A and B are shown apart, each in its own frame.
Chain A
Protein backbone atom coordinates (compact mmCIF):
# COMPACT_ATOMS: atom_id res chain seq x y z
CA UNK A 1 0.00 0.00 0.00
CA UNK A 2 2.82 2.31 0.94
CA UNK A 3 4.63 1.44 -2.26
CA UNK A 4 1.48 2.05 -4.32
CA UNK A 5 0.87 5.40 -2.66
CA UNK A 6 4.45 6.37 -3.39
CA UNK A 7 4.01 5.39 -7.00
CA UNK A 8 0.89 7.50 -7.34
CA UNK A 9 2.62 10.36 -5.67
CA UNK A 10 5.58 10.05 -8.03
CA UNK A 11 3.31 10.07 -11.03
CA UNK A 12 1.31 13.02 -9.80
CA UNK A 13 4.48 14.96 -9.21
CA UNK A 14 5.03 14.87 -12.95
CA UNK A 15 2.30 17.46 -13.20
CA UNK A 16 3.53 19.59 -10.42
CA UNK A 17 5.94 21.89 -12.19
CA UNK A 18 4.83 25.34 -12.98
CA UNK A 19 4.46 25.76 -16.68
CA UNK A 20 6.35 28.21 -18.80
CA UNK A 21 5.74 29.23 -22.37
CA UNK A 22 6.25 26.73 -25.15
CA UNK A 23 9.85 27.77 -25.50
CA UNK A 24 10.47 27.63 -21.76
CA UNK A 25 9.19 24.28 -20.66
CA UNK A 26 10.02 22.98 -17.22
CA UNK A 27 11.43 19.74 -15.90
CA UNK A 28 10.17 17.39 -13.21
CA UNK A 29 10.36 13.74 -12.23
CA UNK A 30 9.94 11.18 -14.95
CA UNK A 31 6.50 9.70 -14.87
CA UNK A 32 3.84 8.34 -17.11
CA UNK A 33 0.75 10.33 -17.97
CA UNK A 34 -2.27 9.83 -15.77
CA UNK A 35 -5.76 9.99 -17.15
CA UNK A 36 -8.15 12.46 -15.58
CA UNK A 37 -11.72 13.13 -16.51
CA UNK A 38 -11.08 14.27 -20.04
CA UNK A 39 -8.94 13.29 -22.96
CA UNK A 40 -6.48 16.15 -22.76
CA UNK A 41 -5.00 16.01 -19.32
CA UNK A 42 -1.59 14.43 -19.86
CA UNK A 43 0.60 17.39 -20.59
CA UNK A 44 3.43 18.98 -18.76
CA UNK A 45 6.91 18.22 -17.56
CA UNK A 46 8.04 14.62 -17.51
CA UNK A 47 5.52 13.55 -20.13
CA UNK A 48 6.82 12.55 -23.55
CA UNK A 49 4.54 13.89 -26.23
CA UNK A 50 4.58 15.86 -29.43
CA UNK A 51 2.28 18.57 -30.67
CA UNK A 52 1.87 19.39 -34.34
CA UNK A 53 -0.13 22.55 -35.05
CA UNK A 54 -1.28 23.85 -38.39
CA UNK A 55 -3.29 27.02 -38.82
CA UNK A 56 -4.44 29.50 -41.43
CA UNK A 57 -4.86 33.17 -40.55
CA UNK A 58 -6.94 35.42 -42.78
CA UNK A 59 -6.71 39.13 -42.01
CA UNK A 60 -8.71 41.88 -43.70
CA UNK A 61 -8.87 45.61 -43.01
CA UNK A 62 -11.95 47.69 -43.74
CA UNK A 63 -11.93 50.25 -46.55
CA UNK A 64 -9.97 48.13 -49.01
CA UNK A 65 -6.83 48.29 -46.97
CA UNK A 66 -4.49 45.42 -46.18
CA UNK A 67 -5.47 41.81 -46.73
CA UNK A 68 -3.18 39.04 -45.48
CA UNK A 69 -3.25 35.27 -45.69
CA UNK A 70 -0.89 33.46 -43.39
CA UNK A 71 -0.52 29.67 -43.16
CA UNK A 72 1.66 28.46 -40.31
CA UNK A 73 2.95 25.19 -38.84
CA UNK A 74 4.57 24.43 -35.53
CA UNK A 75 6.03 21.17 -34.25
CA UNK A 76 7.00 20.65 -30.60
CA UNK A 77 8.58 17.41 -29.43
CA UNK A 78 8.75 16.92 -25.65
CA UNK A 79 10.98 14.24 -24.20
CA UNK A 80 10.26 12.42 -20.96
CA UNK A 81 13.44 13.84 -19.44
CA UNK A 82 12.50 17.44 -20.11
CA UNK A 83 14.04 17.88 -23.53
CA UNK A 84 12.10 19.99 -25.99
CA UNK A 85 12.56 20.57 -29.69
CA UNK A 86 10.43 23.13 -31.52
CA UNK A 87 10.28 24.00 -35.20
CA UNK A 88 8.08 26.64 -36.77
CA UNK A 89 7.22 27.91 -40.23
CA UNK A 90 5.09 30.87 -41.35
CA UNK A 91 4.26 32.24 -44.78
CA UNK A 92 2.61 35.66 -45.32
CA UNK A 93 0.99 37.00 -48.43
CA UNK A 94 0.02 40.65 -48.00
CA UNK A 95 -1.62 43.11 -50.38
CA UNK A 96 -3.87 46.14 -50.36
CA UNK A 97 -3.76 49.82 -49.55
CA UNK A 98 -1.95 51.45 -46.68
CA UNK A 99 -2.00 55.10 -45.57
CA UNK A 100 1.13 56.87 -46.79
CA UNK A 101 1.14 59.36 -43.92
CA UNK A 102 -0.11 62.44 -45.78
CA UNK A 103 -3.21 64.35 -44.64
CA UNK A 104 -6.37 64.55 -46.78
CA UNK A 105 -6.89 67.72 -48.78
CA UNK A 106 -9.79 69.53 -50.37
CA UNK A 107 -7.77 69.30 -53.59
CA UNK A 108 -6.60 66.21 -55.46
CA UNK A 109 -3.07 65.14 -54.49
CA UNK A 110 -0.45 63.48 -56.69
CA UNK A 111 2.23 61.24 -55.20
CA UNK A 112 5.36 59.92 -56.89
CA UNK A 113 7.23 56.93 -55.57
CA UNK A 114 10.01 54.69 -56.92
CA UNK A 115 9.23 51.65 -58.99
CA UNK A 116 11.49 48.64 -58.86
CA UNK A 117 13.96 48.55 -61.75
CA UNK A 118 13.33 46.72 -65.01
CA UNK A 119 13.89 42.99 -64.68
CA UNK A 120 12.35 42.89 -61.24
CA UNK A 121 9.29 40.91 -60.29
CA UNK A 122 7.40 43.93 -59.08
CA UNK A 123 3.85 43.80 -60.33
CA UNK A 124 2.68 47.31 -59.64
CA UNK A 125 0.59 48.34 -62.64
CA UNK A 126 -2.43 50.42 -63.43
CA UNK A 127 -4.46 47.41 -62.44
CA UNK A 128 -3.17 47.44 -58.91
CA UNK A 129 -5.37 50.18 -57.61
CA UNK A 130 -4.98 53.39 -59.56
CA UNK A 131 -1.20 53.65 -59.92
CA UNK A 132 0.42 54.46 -63.22
CA UNK A 133 3.97 53.82 -64.30
CA UNK A 134 5.70 56.96 -65.50
CA UNK A 135 8.97 57.64 -67.31
CA UNK A 136 11.60 59.61 -65.36
CA UNK A 137 14.67 61.38 -66.64
CA UNK A 138 17.35 58.63 -66.53
CA UNK A 139 20.28 59.03 -64.17
CA UNK A 140 23.77 59.14 -65.71
CA UNK A 141 24.57 55.67 -67.06
CA UNK A 142 21.03 54.42 -66.57
CA UNK A 143 19.04 53.08 -69.51
CA UNK A 144 15.82 54.95 -70.15
CA UNK A 145 13.70 51.83 -69.74
CA UNK A 146 14.99 51.43 -66.21
CA UNK A 147 14.13 54.97 -65.19
CA UNK A 148 10.54 54.41 -64.24
CA UNK A 149 8.49 55.73 -61.39
CA UNK A 150 5.03 55.15 -60.05
CA UNK A 151 2.40 57.84 -59.69
CA UNK A 152 -0.94 57.73 -57.94
CA UNK A 153 -3.57 60.42 -57.58
CA UNK A 154 -5.75 60.75 -54.49
CA UNK A 155 -9.14 62.46 -54.96
CA UNK A 156 -10.16 65.46 -52.81
CA UNK A 157 -11.17 64.79 -49.19
CA UNK A 158 -9.84 61.22 -49.24
CA UNK A 159 -7.17 59.85 -46.92
CA UNK A 160 -4.06 59.30 -49.09
CA UNK A 161 -3.23 55.64 -49.38
CA UNK A 162 -0.71 53.77 -51.46
CA UNK A 163 -2.57 50.94 -53.17
CA UNK A 164 0.55 49.35 -54.62
CA UNK A 165 1.45 47.54 -51.42
CA UNK A 166 2.22 43.86 -51.93
CA UNK A 167 4.64 41.54 -50.20
CA UNK A 168 5.41 37.97 -49.23
CA UNK A 169 7.24 36.73 -46.19
CA UNK A 170 8.71 33.40 -45.12
CA UNK A 171 9.77 32.84 -41.54
CA UNK A 172 11.39 29.89 -39.78
CA UNK A 173 12.04 29.36 -36.08
CA UNK A 174 13.69 26.62 -34.08
CA UNK A 175 14.44 25.95 -30.42
CA UNK A 176 16.00 23.35 -28.21
CA UNK A 177 16.04 23.03 -24.42
CA UNK A 178 16.82 20.43 -21.78
CA UNK A 179 17.77 20.10 -18.12
CA UNK A 180 21.48 20.47 -17.42
CA UNK A 181 22.79 19.36 -14.04
CA UNK A 182 20.96 21.20 -11.30
CA UNK A 183 19.52 23.71 -13.73
CA UNK A 184 15.94 22.83 -14.57
CA UNK A 185 16.26 24.01 -18.12
CA UNK A 186 18.79 25.49 -20.51
CA UNK A 187 17.97 26.24 -24.09
CA UNK A 188 18.67 28.16 -27.23
CA UNK A 189 16.77 29.08 -30.36
CA UNK A 190 16.72 31.22 -33.44
CA UNK A 191 14.66 32.61 -36.25
CA UNK A 192 14.97 33.76 -39.83
CA UNK A 193 12.41 35.89 -41.64
CA UNK A 194 12.69 37.20 -45.18
CA UNK A 195 10.47 39.33 -47.41
CA UNK A 196 11.08 41.38 -50.52
CA UNK A 197 12.34 44.45 -48.71
CA UNK A 198 13.20 43.23 -45.20
CA UNK A 199 15.14 40.47 -43.47
CA UNK A 200 15.38 39.56 -39.78
CA UNK A 201 17.72 37.09 -38.07
CA UNK A 202 17.31 36.37 -34.36
CA UNK A 203 18.93 34.18 -31.71
CA UNK A 204 18.07 33.53 -28.08
CA UNK A 205 19.27 31.64 -25.02
CA UNK A 206 17.25 30.96 -21.90
CA UNK A 207 17.44 29.29 -18.50
CA UNK A 208 14.78 28.33 -15.97
CA UNK A 209 14.92 27.05 -12.41
CA UNK A 210 12.12 25.34 -10.51
CA UNK A 211 11.79 25.26 -6.75
CA UNK A 212 9.12 25.17 -4.02
CA UNK A 213 8.03 21.66 -5.04
CA UNK A 214 8.06 22.85 -8.64
CA UNK A 215 5.34 25.36 -7.92
CA UNK A 216 7.66 28.25 -8.66
CA UNK A 217 9.78 28.83 -11.75
CA UNK A 218 12.13 31.72 -12.35
CA UNK A 219 13.32 32.16 -15.91
CA UNK A 220 15.69 34.39 -17.79
CA UNK A 221 15.79 34.68 -21.57
CA UNK A 222 18.14 36.76 -23.70
CA UNK A 223 17.32 37.64 -27.28
CA UNK A 224 19.15 39.43 -30.05
CA UNK A 225 17.96 40.33 -33.53
CA UNK A 226 19.62 41.75 -36.60
CA UNK A 227 17.32 43.34 -39.20
CA UNK A 228 18.05 44.69 -42.66
CA UNK A 229 15.73 47.01 -44.53
CA UNK A 230 16.20 47.34 -48.30
CA UNK A 231 13.12 49.21 -49.54
CA UNK A 232 12.12 49.71 -53.15
CA UNK A 233 13.76 52.91 -54.27
CA UNK A 234 16.55 52.80 -51.70
CA UNK A 235 16.73 54.56 -48.36
CA UNK A 236 15.21 58.05 -48.59
CA UNK A 237 16.94 60.97 -46.93
CA UNK A 238 14.79 61.90 -43.93
CA UNK A 239 12.67 65.03 -44.18
CA UNK A 240 13.29 65.50 -47.92
CA UNK A 241 10.59 65.74 -50.56
CA UNK A 242 8.98 62.47 -51.67
CA UNK A 243 10.06 61.56 -55.20
CA UNK A 244 10.35 58.65 -57.63
CA UNK A 245 14.15 58.54 -57.96
CA UNK A 246 16.17 55.61 -56.64
CA UNK A 247 18.23 56.63 -53.68
CA UNK A 248 21.40 55.63 -51.92
CA UNK A 249 22.17 53.71 -49.77
CA UNK A 250 19.93 50.85 -50.75
CA UNK A 251 19.82 49.25 -47.31
CA UNK A 252 20.16 50.05 -43.61
CA UNK A 253 20.35 47.79 -40.57
CA UNK A 254 18.96 47.62 -37.06
CA UNK A 255 20.29 45.69 -34.08
CA UNK A 256 18.12 44.65 -31.17
CA UNK A 257 19.00 43.07 -27.85
CA UNK A 258 16.75 42.38 -24.90
CA UNK A 259 15.83 40.09 -22.08
CA UNK A 260 12.76 38.74 -20.30
CA UNK A 261 12.85 37.95 -16.59
CA UNK A 262 9.92 35.74 -15.64
CA UNK A 263 8.25 34.31 -12.57
CA UNK A 264 5.67 31.56 -12.97
CA UNK A 265 3.77 30.46 -9.89
CA UNK A 266 1.17 27.78 -9.34
CA UNK A 267 -0.84 29.74 -6.80
CA UNK A 268 -3.50 27.14 -6.00
CA UNK A 269 -4.87 23.96 -7.52
CA UNK A 270 -6.93 26.17 -9.86
CA UNK A 271 -4.76 29.24 -10.41
CA UNK A 272 -1.61 29.69 -12.48
CA UNK A 273 0.09 33.09 -12.47
CA UNK A 274 2.89 34.51 -14.58
CA UNK A 275 4.78 37.78 -14.16
CA UNK A 276 7.29 38.99 -16.77
CA UNK A 277 9.56 42.00 -16.96
CA UNK A 278 10.95 42.74 -20.43
CA UNK A 279 13.74 45.08 -21.42
CA UNK A 280 14.75 45.76 -25.00
CA UNK A 281 16.97 48.15 -26.93
CA UNK A 282 16.92 48.80 -30.67
CA UNK A 283 19.61 50.72 -32.51
CA UNK A 284 19.79 51.57 -36.18
CA UNK A 285 17.34 52.33 -38.94
CA UNK A 286 13.77 52.51 -37.60
CA UNK A 287 12.06 54.73 -40.17
CA UNK A 288 9.26 53.55 -42.39
CA UNK A 289 10.93 54.24 -45.75
CA UNK A 290 7.63 54.56 -47.62
CA UNK A 291 5.94 56.93 -45.21
CA UNK A 292 5.74 60.72 -45.54
CA UNK A 293 4.42 63.59 -43.49
CA UNK A 294 2.55 66.53 -45.04
CA UNK A 295 3.78 70.10 -44.79
CA UNK A 296 0.73 72.36 -44.95
CA UNK A 297 0.11 76.01 -45.62
CA UNK A 298 -0.24 77.77 -42.22
CA UNK A 299 -3.46 79.54 -43.25
CA UNK A 300 -5.30 77.35 -45.77
CA UNK A 301 -4.11 73.98 -44.39
CA UNK A 302 -3.52 72.77 -47.95
CA UNK A 303 -0.55 70.38 -48.28
CA UNK A 304 2.37 72.04 -50.04
CA UNK A 305 4.86 69.15 -49.89
CA UNK A 306 5.35 65.66 -48.49
CA UNK A 307 8.55 64.84 -46.61
CA UNK A 308 9.95 61.41 -45.76
CA UNK A 309 9.56 60.76 -42.04
CA UNK A 310 12.40 60.52 -39.53
CA UNK A 311 12.56 58.58 -36.23
CA UNK A 312 15.33 58.43 -33.63
CA UNK A 313 17.87 55.66 -34.22
CA UNK A 314 17.75 54.48 -30.62
CA UNK A 315 14.75 53.05 -28.81
CA UNK A 316 14.58 51.49 -25.37
CA UNK A 317 11.43 49.65 -24.34
CA UNK A 318 10.29 48.08 -21.09
CA UNK A 319 7.16 46.18 -20.20
CA UNK A 320 5.56 44.45 -17.26
CA UNK A 321 3.18 41.62 -18.07
CA UNK A 322 0.92 39.82 -15.60
CA UNK A 323 -1.11 36.80 -16.69
CA UNK A 324 -3.53 34.62 -14.74
CA UNK A 325 -5.26 31.39 -15.64
CA UNK A 326 -7.98 30.04 -13.40
CA UNK A 327 -9.43 26.60 -14.08
CA UNK A 328 -12.70 25.61 -12.47
CA UNK A 329 -13.31 22.52 -14.54
CA UNK A 330 -16.09 23.56 -16.89
CA UNK A 331 -14.55 27.02 -17.36
CA UNK A 332 -11.06 28.44 -17.70
CA UNK A 333 -10.63 32.18 -17.24
CA UNK A 334 -7.54 33.98 -18.50
CA UNK A 335 -6.89 37.57 -17.54
CA UNK A 336 -3.77 39.56 -18.32
CA UNK A 337 -2.48 43.11 -17.94
CA UNK A 338 0.51 44.73 -19.61
CA UNK A 339 2.16 48.09 -19.07
CA UNK A 340 4.62 49.23 -21.73
CA UNK A 341 6.84 52.29 -21.92
CA UNK A 342 9.64 53.40 -24.22
CA UNK A 343 12.22 56.13 -24.77
CA UNK A 344 10.15 57.65 -27.59
CA UNK A 345 7.58 58.86 -25.08
CA UNK A 346 5.04 56.12 -25.77
CA UNK A 347 3.32 54.32 -22.93
CA UNK A 348 0.54 51.82 -23.26
CA UNK A 349 -1.83 49.71 -21.20
CA UNK A 350 -3.31 46.41 -22.35
CA UNK A 351 -5.97 44.26 -20.70
CA UNK A 352 -7.19 40.93 -22.05
CA UNK A 353 -9.91 38.62 -20.81
CA UNK A 354 -11.07 35.29 -22.18
CA UNK A 355 -13.44 32.68 -20.82
CA UNK A 356 -13.22 29.13 -22.06
CA UNK A 357 -16.48 27.30 -21.46
CA UNK A 358 -16.56 23.55 -21.89
CA UNK A 359 -19.76 22.20 -23.42
CA UNK A 360 -19.23 18.54 -22.67
CA UNK A 361 -16.09 16.56 -23.38
CA UNK A 362 -15.86 17.41 -27.07
CA UNK A 363 -16.70 21.06 -27.47
CA UNK A 364 -15.85 24.43 -25.99
CA UNK A 365 -16.47 28.07 -26.78
CA UNK A 366 -14.20 30.93 -25.77
CA UNK A 367 -15.34 34.55 -26.02
CA UNK A 368 -12.59 37.13 -25.53
CA UNK A 369 -12.10 40.88 -25.31
CA UNK A 370 -8.94 42.99 -25.46
CA UNK A 371 -8.54 46.65 -24.58
CA UNK A 372 -5.45 48.64 -25.55
CA UNK A 373 -4.55 52.30 -25.16
CA UNK A 374 -1.34 54.09 -26.09
CA UNK A 375 -0.01 57.64 -25.90
CA UNK A 376 1.77 59.31 -28.80
CA UNK A 377 5.50 59.36 -29.48
CA UNK A 378 7.02 62.73 -28.66
CA UNK A 379 7.89 63.26 -32.35
CA UNK A 380 4.41 62.37 -33.64
CA UNK A 381 2.65 65.11 -35.63
CA UNK A 382 -0.48 64.94 -37.70
CA UNK A 383 1.26 67.33 -40.12
CA UNK A 384 3.98 69.97 -40.18
CA UNK A 385 3.25 73.66 -40.70
CA UNK A 386 5.12 75.30 -43.56
CA UNK A 387 6.14 78.46 -41.75
CA UNK A 388 7.67 76.66 -38.76
CA UNK A 389 11.22 75.27 -38.65
CA UNK A 390 11.51 71.55 -39.33
CA UNK A 391 11.87 69.33 -36.26
CA UNK A 392 14.72 66.82 -36.07
CA UNK A 393 12.31 63.90 -35.91
CA UNK A 394 8.80 63.70 -37.26
CA UNK A 395 6.31 61.00 -38.15
CA UNK A 396 2.60 60.96 -38.85
CA UNK A 397 2.37 57.18 -38.54
CA UNK A 398 -0.88 56.48 -36.68
CA UNK A 399 0.78 53.50 -35.02
CA UNK A 400 2.94 55.99 -33.13
CA UNK A 401 0.03 58.29 -32.33
CA UNK A 402 -2.50 58.28 -29.52
CA UNK A 403 -5.39 55.86 -29.89
CA UNK A 404 -7.46 53.17 -28.25
CA UNK A 405 -7.89 49.72 -29.73
CA UNK A 406 -10.63 47.27 -28.79
CA UNK A 407 -10.90 43.67 -29.94
CA UNK A 408 -13.96 41.47 -29.60
CA UNK A 409 -13.85 37.87 -30.58
CA UNK A 410 -14.62 34.26 -29.97
CA UNK A 411 -13.40 30.77 -30.60
CA UNK A 412 -15.00 27.38 -31.00
CA UNK A 413 -12.94 24.26 -30.41
CA UNK A 414 -13.93 20.72 -31.22
CA UNK A 415 -12.07 17.65 -30.05
CA UNK A 416 -12.21 15.56 -33.20
CA UNK A 417 -10.48 12.55 -31.72
CA UNK A 418 -8.77 11.96 -28.41
CA UNK A 419 -5.70 13.86 -29.58
CA UNK A 420 -6.86 16.10 -32.41
CA UNK A 421 -8.54 19.44 -31.94
CA UNK A 422 -10.05 21.63 -34.63
CA UNK A 423 -10.69 25.26 -33.79
CA UNK A 424 -12.10 28.30 -35.51
CA UNK A 425 -11.50 31.79 -34.19
CA UNK A 426 -12.79 35.21 -35.24
CA UNK A 427 -11.72 38.66 -34.05
CA UNK A 428 -12.85 42.22 -34.78
CA UNK A 429 -10.30 44.95 -34.03
CA UNK A 430 -11.18 48.65 -34.00
CA UNK A 431 -8.93 51.65 -33.39
CA UNK A 432 -10.39 54.97 -32.31
CA UNK A 433 -8.55 58.26 -32.02
CA UNK A 434 -8.81 62.00 -32.40
CA UNK A 435 -9.35 62.97 -36.03
CA UNK A 436 -9.73 66.67 -35.26
CA UNK A 437 -6.65 67.94 -33.42
CA UNK A 438 -6.77 71.42 -31.91
CA UNK A 439 -3.93 72.69 -34.10
CA UNK A 440 -5.71 71.89 -37.39
CA UNK A 441 -5.76 74.89 -39.69
CA UNK A 442 -7.85 75.89 -42.70
CA UNK A 443 -9.28 73.01 -44.68
CA UNK A 444 -7.82 70.46 -42.22
CA UNK A 445 -10.60 71.37 -39.77
CA UNK A 446 -13.05 69.75 -42.15
CA UNK A 447 -11.03 66.54 -42.51
CA UNK A 448 -10.82 63.41 -40.36
CA UNK A 449 -7.09 63.20 -39.66
CA UNK A 450 -7.17 59.92 -37.77
CA UNK A 451 -6.03 57.10 -40.05
CA UNK A 452 -6.67 54.22 -37.66
CA UNK A 453 -7.51 50.67 -38.63
CA UNK A 454 -10.61 48.49 -38.41
CA UNK A 455 -9.78 44.89 -39.09
CA UNK A 456 -11.39 41.49 -39.04
CA UNK A 457 -9.26 38.42 -38.72
CA UNK A 458 -10.03 34.77 -38.42
CA UNK A 459 -8.09 31.62 -37.89
CA UNK A 460 -8.75 27.96 -38.44
CA UNK A 461 -6.37 25.54 -36.80
CA UNK A 462 -5.76 21.87 -36.24
CA UNK A 463 -3.78 20.70 -33.24
CA UNK A 464 -2.56 17.13 -33.27
CA UNK A 465 -1.02 15.64 -30.15
CA UNK A 466 0.61 12.23 -30.02
CA UNK A 467 2.18 10.48 -27.07
Chain B
Protein backbone atom coordinates (compact mmCIF):
# COMPACT_ATOMS: atom_id res chain seq x y z
CA UNK B 1 0.00 0.00 0.00
CA UNK B 2 2.86 2.30 0.93
CA UNK B 3 4.61 1.45 -2.32
CA UNK B 4 1.46 2.27 -4.25
CA UNK B 5 1.23 5.61 -2.50
CA UNK B 6 4.83 6.44 -3.36
CA UNK B 7 4.21 5.61 -7.00
CA UNK B 8 1.13 7.78 -6.94
CA UNK B 9 3.10 10.70 -5.48
CA UNK B 10 5.88 10.28 -8.05
CA UNK B 11 3.32 10.11 -10.82
CA UNK B 12 1.52 13.22 -9.65
CA UNK B 13 4.81 15.12 -9.34
CA UNK B 14 5.95 14.01 -12.79
CA UNK B 15 2.59 14.96 -14.27
CA UNK B 16 2.75 18.33 -12.56
CA UNK B 17 6.27 18.99 -13.86
CA UNK B 18 5.37 18.02 -17.40
CA UNK B 19 2.30 20.20 -17.14
CA UNK B 20 4.50 23.12 -16.07
CA UNK B 21 6.72 22.62 -19.11
CA UNK B 22 3.83 23.50 -21.39
CA UNK B 23 2.63 26.39 -19.28
CA UNK B 24 3.54 30.01 -19.45
CA UNK B 25 3.74 32.77 -22.02
CA UNK B 26 6.50 33.43 -24.51
CA UNK B 27 9.17 35.91 -23.43
CA UNK B 28 7.62 38.70 -25.51
CA UNK B 29 4.32 38.22 -23.68
CA UNK B 30 5.69 38.89 -20.22
CA UNK B 31 5.21 42.63 -20.09
CA UNK B 32 2.61 42.44 -17.32
CA UNK B 33 4.89 40.24 -15.21
CA UNK B 34 7.44 43.06 -15.13
CA UNK B 35 5.11 45.46 -13.41
CA UNK B 36 5.80 46.36 -9.81
CA UNK B 37 2.47 45.08 -8.54
CA UNK B 38 3.04 41.69 -10.17
CA UNK B 39 6.16 40.96 -8.14
CA UNK B 40 5.39 38.28 -5.57
CA UNK B 41 6.05 40.66 -2.68
CA UNK B 42 6.00 44.23 -4.02
CA UNK B 43 5.43 45.80 -0.58
CA UNK B 44 7.59 43.83 1.86
CA UNK B 45 6.94 46.16 4.80
CA UNK B 46 3.19 45.79 4.35
CA UNK B 47 3.51 42.01 4.22
CA UNK B 48 5.75 42.00 7.30
CA UNK B 49 3.32 44.22 9.23
CA UNK B 50 0.35 41.97 8.41
CA UNK B 51 2.24 38.84 9.35
CA UNK B 52 3.37 40.41 12.62
CA UNK B 53 -0.19 41.42 13.54
CA UNK B 54 -1.67 38.02 12.72
CA UNK B 55 1.20 36.11 14.31
CA UNK B 56 0.57 37.94 17.57
CA UNK B 57 -3.19 37.21 17.55
CA UNK B 58 -3.54 33.77 15.93
CA UNK B 59 -2.03 30.32 16.36
CA UNK B 60 -0.97 29.97 12.72
CA UNK B 61 2.02 31.50 11.03
CA UNK B 62 4.05 30.98 7.89
CA UNK B 63 2.90 29.80 4.50
CA UNK B 64 4.06 32.71 2.43
CA UNK B 65 7.42 32.39 4.17
CA UNK B 66 8.87 30.88 7.32
CA UNK B 67 6.74 30.17 10.38
CA UNK B 68 7.41 32.06 13.58
CA UNK B 69 7.67 35.72 14.17
CA UNK B 70 11.02 36.47 15.74
CA UNK B 71 9.36 38.12 18.71
CA UNK B 72 7.85 37.29 22.05
CA UNK B 73 4.37 38.46 21.10
CA UNK B 74 2.93 34.95 20.90
- Chain A residues contacting B39 (CB-CB under 8 Å) are 19, 22, 43-44
Contacts beyond the supplied A200-B72, A216-B21: 19 A-B pairs with Cβ under 8 Å: A12-B28, A23-B65, A34-B31, A55-B45, A74-B44, A94-B73, A215-B25, A221-B65, A229-B72, A280-B66, A321-B62, A323-B40, A327-B32, A338-B63, A342-B59, A344-B59, A405-B58, A457-B53, A461-B45
Give chain A residues whose Cβ lies under 8 Å from the Cβ of B26.
213
A415-466 at interface with B (beta carbon < 8 Å) = 423, 425, 427, 429, 431, 453, 455, 457, 459, 461, 463, 465
Q: Which residue of B27, B29, B54 contacts A372 across the interface (Cβ within 8 Å)? A: B54
Which B residues have a C-beta under 8 Å from some C-beta of A?
A: 20-21, 23-41, 43-46, 48-50, 52-54, 57-68, 70-74
Decide if A356 is an interface residue (CB 8 Å cutoff): yes
Assess the A266–B58 pair: CB atoms within 8 A: no
Tell whether, in the assembled complex, residue A12 and residue B30 are in contact, meaning their CB atoms are under 8 Å apart.
yes
Complexed CA–CA distance, A463 and B71 (Å): 25
Complex formed: what's the CA distance from A41 to B65 in Å? Answer: 25
**Interchain nearest-CB distance for B37 vs A (Å):** 5
Contacts A43-B34, A197-B72, A348-B59 given: A15-B24 contact, CB under 8 Å?
A: no
Measured CB to CB, the residues of A under 8 A from B are: 8-9, 12-16, 18-23, 34, 36, 38, 40-44, 47, 53-55, 57, 59, 70, 72-74, 76, 88, 90, 92, 94, 169, 171, 191, 193, 195, 197-198, 200, 202, 204, 212-216, 221, 223, 225, 227, 229, 256, 258, 260, 263-270, 272, 274, 276, 278, 280, 282, 317, 319-321, 323, 325, 327, 329, 332, 336, 338, 340, 342, 344, 346, 348, 350, 356, 372, 374, 377, 399-400, 405, 423, 425, 427, 429, 431, 453, 455, 457, 459, 461, 463, 465
Q: Which residues of B contact A43 (CB under 8 A)?
A: 34-36, 39
Distance between A157 CB and nearest chain B CB, rounded to angstroms: 25
Residues of A within 8 A of B28 (CB): 8-9, 12
Known contacts A195-B72, A229-B72, A266-B33; A377/B59 CB under 8 A: yes
How far apart sit A431 and B59, CA to CA, in the bound complex (Å)? 13
Of B45, B54, B64, B71, which is in contact with the most chain A CB atoms at under 10 Å from its CB? B45
CB neighbours (8 Å) of A344 from chain B are: 59
Say yes or no: B45 contacts A41, CB within 8 Å. Answer: no
Closest 6 CB pairs of A and B: A215-B24, A198-B72, A321-B63, A15-B34, A280-B67, A340-B60
Minimum CB–CB distance for A130 against chain B, Å = 23
Asked whether A57 lies within 8 Å of B60 as measured between CB atoms, the reply is no
Which residues of A lie under 8 Å from residue B32 when comparing CB positions?
269-270, 327, 329
B46 partner, pick from A213, A225, A425, beta carbons under 8 A: A425
Residues of A within 8 A of B72 (CB): 195, 197-198, 200, 227, 229
Q: In the bound complex, do residue B46 and residue A212 qualify as a contact, i.e. CB atoms below 8 Å apart?
A: no
Q: Give the dominant DSSP class at A's interface.
A: strand
A265 to B74, CA, bound (A): 34
List, in ascending order, chain A residues with CB within 8 A of B61's CB.
Answer: 317
Selected contact of B58 from candidates A88, A198, A348, CB within 8 Å: A348
Interchain nearest-CB distance for A64 vs B (Å): 17
Residues B58 and A372 in contact, CB atoms below 8 Å apart:
yes
Q: Decide yes or no: A9 and B44 within 8 Å by CB, A216-B20, A260-B66 being known contacts.
A: no
Rounded to whole angstroms, the CA-CA distance of A12 and B28 in the bound complex is: 5
Complex Cα gap A451–B22 (Å)? 51
| Inter-subunit contact B49/A280 (CB<8 Å) | no
Q: Which residue of B lies closest to A400 (CB)?
A: B59
- When distances are taken between beta carbons in the complex, the residues of chain B under 8 Å from A213 are 24, 26-27
8 contacts between A and B (CB under 8 A): A15-B30, A19-B40, A213-B26, A215-B20, A256-B67, A269-B31, A272-B38, A405-B58
CB contact under 8 A between A265 and B66, given known A74-B44, A319-B60: no
The docked-state distance in angstroms from the alpha carbon of A23 to that of B49 is: 16
B25 touches A268 (CB 8 A): yes
A53 touches B43 (CB 8 A): yes
A55/B49 in contact, CB under 8 A: yes
How many Å from the CB of A255 to the closest CB on chain B?
Answer: 11
Is there an interface contact between B40 and A20, defined as CB atoms closer than 8 Å? yes
Closest B residue by C-beta to A10: B27
Chain A nearest CB, measured from B34 CB (Å): 4
CA distance A58 to B23 in the complex (A): 42
* Contacting residues, chain B, for A400 (C-beta < 8 A): 59
